[in-house]
Amino acid sequence: MDQNDKLATGSTMPGERPEIGEHPMHALLDAESYELETPQRGEIRTGTIARVSENDILVDVGAKSEGIILGRELDRLSEEERSGFEVGDEIQVYVVRSADRDGTILLSISRAEEEQDWQQAEEYMESQEPYEGLIDGYNKGGLIVKLGRLRGFVPASQVSISRRRRSDGETPDDRWGDMVGEPIITRVIEVDQRRNRLILSERAASREARDALKERLISELQPGEVRQGTVISLADFGAFVDIGGADGLIHISELSWKRIENPSEILEVGQEIDVKVLNVDAERKRISLSLRDLASDPWDKVMKGFEEGQLVEGTITKLTKFGAFAALKGTEEYEIEGLIHISELSDDHIEHPREVLQEGQDVAMRLIKIDDERRRIGLSLKQVDSAEFADVDWRTAMEDIEAEAIDGIEVTPADESPDAEEPQEELEVSLELEEGAEPQTDLPPEPEGVSPDPGEEQEPEGSQE
């Protein structure tokens, strides 16, 4: 090795003494500085807490000197977070400034967490995996959703249709205020750390979001629960209600105790209502709801005036192969219907109810069964004139007469009529008939001026005193 090589490598040959001015440990210290790399700005490092004080925290990040977390950084942390730091604990830190002239390295805990959140946001955008969070706030343009320490923004145009239906109002508070704290599932559609821009979309994750929320709701819901929901659509057969991220169906028969032709008669899209959970089908992922179960059942009140065996009037509403349905007169408000089974239509054999009835026809029927538990009524046409119910018919007729009197129609028995004449005394006539003689039909006229006393015996003509 020549002199130049010695100068280039800084080494000495065996037995040679180092040059004047060269420290013996110089080569060793220069060898990657004990393999310690100086932290660079923007790095995230895992360090070990070396000291904890009220004003700062020293962290060993594997450099020549320890890094420092200043007091103003600690002030941003909660009391619980600050009390959790102990010497020897490992923490993630962000290098705000690499070593200056005096070797001080400035570190940040919150920036490290933010950096990790930005990295996570990038991963969400690349994978298109839905992110589930909570609505943390709002502004005039949309909703704020936190992703770790980052504040993601969901523009109004990216809010789901069901949520936008609820956003009525003139001010942001009116439109979005009630949604704060609600769960929301979004997709990350834009990440720009340099501009501090994180854009989320609920619409993009709508299908996945609703499926996820529905799965959770189905696992939580129990029949009999009462939930608040929002009407999101109406159909001829019922109404769909959003009960917190999943749709349930109120069948038209469960909307009201009264008969309605279309759900729009009592509901409108966007209306908030309380509903009762009837059934949860986990396998088919269906939720059945009821509105009428939250109202009082009018059955007992309506059926109070009816009894089995009574004659009733009604209108045929529907014909089926097994019988006919009839709405009872006097129950127009709730349109209570009963079934006339095909076997109760006629004494003769019939193939279909239309042979003897038609829809809209008014008929008299015999009420043969009242099933209070199942809310069903059995009717009969062929038993209308049955002698079996003669007593019931007589009692009903008497009740009707009394009801008419109460309603203001005076019913007076014939023997109490003021126009009835006193009966005349009958004249008893005793006729003695001779045996075998024909009865006389004409009596001889009485002598003029003579009024015989029927109790006085008359002398025979020609007699003398």
Q: What pairs with residue 376 in β-bridges?
A: 371
Same domain (yes/no): 315, 252 = no
Sign of the torsion angle spanned by Cα atoms 452, 455, 456, 459? positive
d(CA 120, CA 136): 19
> In this predicted structure, what is the pLDDT of residue 449?
43
> In this predicted structure, what is the pLDDT of residue 457?
42
As a dihedral over the C-alpha atoms of residue 319, residue 320, residue 321, residue 322, rounded to 10 degrees, the angle is -100
CB distance 11 to 2 below 8 Å: no
Sign of the torsion angle spanned by Cα atoms 266, 271, 275, 278? positive
What residues have CB less than 8 Å from 230, skipping those under 6 apart?
162, 165, 166, 241, 242, 270, 271, 272, 273
Same domain (yes/no): 14, 66 = no
Q: List pLDDT tens digits, range 113-152.
A: 888 899 899 999 999 888 999 999 999 899 999 998 899 9
Same domain (yes/no): 175, 138 = yes
Q: Is the pTM of this model over 0.75?
A: no
Same domain (yes/no): 305, 350 = yes
The reply to whether 39 falls in a domain is: no
Q: Hey, what are 284's tokens?
A: 């088919």
Same domain (yes/no): 390, 364 = yes
Same domain (yes/no): 54, 144 = no
The reply to whether 413 falls in a domain is: no
Pairing of strands 105-108, 131-139: unpaired
Same domain (yes/no): 310, 388 = yes
The reply to whether 168 falls in a domain is: yes
Among 164, 179, 208, the domain-final residue is: 208
The reply to whether 11 falls in a domain is: yes
> In this predicted structure, what is the pLDDT of residue 359?
93
The reply to whether 379 falls in a domain is: yes
Q: List pLDDT tens digits, range 331-374.
A: 777 778 899 999 999 989 999 999 999 999 999 999 999 888 88
CB distance 111 to 96 below 8 Å: yes
Same domain (yes/no): 310, 389 = yes
> In this predicted structure, what is the pLDDT of residue 423?
44
What residues have CB less than 8 Å from 50, skipping those under 6 apart?
58, 59, 60, 66, 87
> In this predicted structure, what is the pLDDT of residue 422?
47
CB count, 10 Å around CB of 147?
20
Same domain (yes/no): 171, 141 = yes
First to last CA, the chain: 211
> In this predicted structure, what is the pLDDT of residue 208?
67
Same domain (yes/no): 312, 270 = no
CATH number at residue 55: 2.40.50.140
Residue 197 burial (C-beta neighbours within 10 Å; 0-12, 13-18, 19+):
exposed
The reply to whether 15 falls in a domain is: yes
Pairing of strands 67-69, 105-108: parallel
Among 402, 427, 452, the domain-final residue is: 402
> In this predicted structure, what is the pLDDT of residue 149?
86
Tens-of-pLDDT digits for all 465 residues of the chain?
A: 455 554 444 455 555 554 545 555 555 445 444 445 677 777 788 888 888 887 888 888 877 778 888 878 787 777 777 777 888 888 888 888 887 677 788 888 878 888 889 989 999 999 988 899 999 999 989 999 999 889 999 999 999 877 887 777 888 898 899 899 999 989 999 999 889 999 999 988 877 666 777 788 888 888 999 999 889 889 999 999 988 778 899 999 899 888 788 999 999 988 899 999 999 888 888 899 999 989 887 887 778 878 888 889 999 999 999 999 998 887 777 778 899 999 999 989 999 999 999 999 999 999 999 888 888 899 999 888 876 666 666 666 666 666 665 555 454 444 444 444 444 444 344 434 444 445 444 444 544 444 444 444 444 443 333
| Domain enclosing residue 194, as ranges | 128-208
> In this predicted structure, what is the pLDDT of residue 301?
79
Spatial CA neighbour of 244 closest among 209, 195, 269: 209
User: How many domains are there within the chain?
Assistant: 5
Q: What pairs with residue 227 in β-bridges?
A: 275
Same domain (yes/no): 343, 380 = yes
The reply to whether 324 falls in a domain is: yes
d(CA 39, CA 48): 14
Same domain (yes/no): 309, 398 = yes
d(CA 378, CA 338): 6
Three-state SS string over the chain comes to CCHHHHHHHCCCCCCCCCCCCCCCCHHHHHCHHHHCCCCCCCCEEEEEEEEECCCCEEEECCCCCCEEECHHHHCCCCHHHHHCCCCCCEEEEEEEECCCCCCCEEEEHHHHHHHHHHHHHHHHHHHCCCEEEEEEEEECCEEEEEECCEEEEEEHHHCCHHHHHCCCCCCHHHHHHHHCCCEEEEEEEEEECCCCEEEEECCCCHHHHHHHHHHHHHHHCCCCCEEEEEEEEEECCEEEEECCCCEEEEEHHHCCCCCCCCHHHCCCCCCEEEEEEEEEECCCCEEEEECHHHCCCCHHHHHHHCCCCCEEEEEEEEEECCEEEEEECCCCCCCCEEEEEHHHCCCCCCCCHHHCCCCCCEEEEEEEEEECCCCEEEEECCCCCCHHHHHHHHHHHHHHHHHHHHCCCCCCCHHHCCCCCCCCCCCCCCCCCCCCCCCCCCCCCCCCCCCCCCCCCCCCCCCCC
> In this predicted structure, what is the pLDDT of residue 164?
82
Among 113, 136, 161, the domain-final residue is: 113
The reply to whether 452 falls in a domain is: no
> In this predicted structure, what is the pLDDT of residue 215?
82
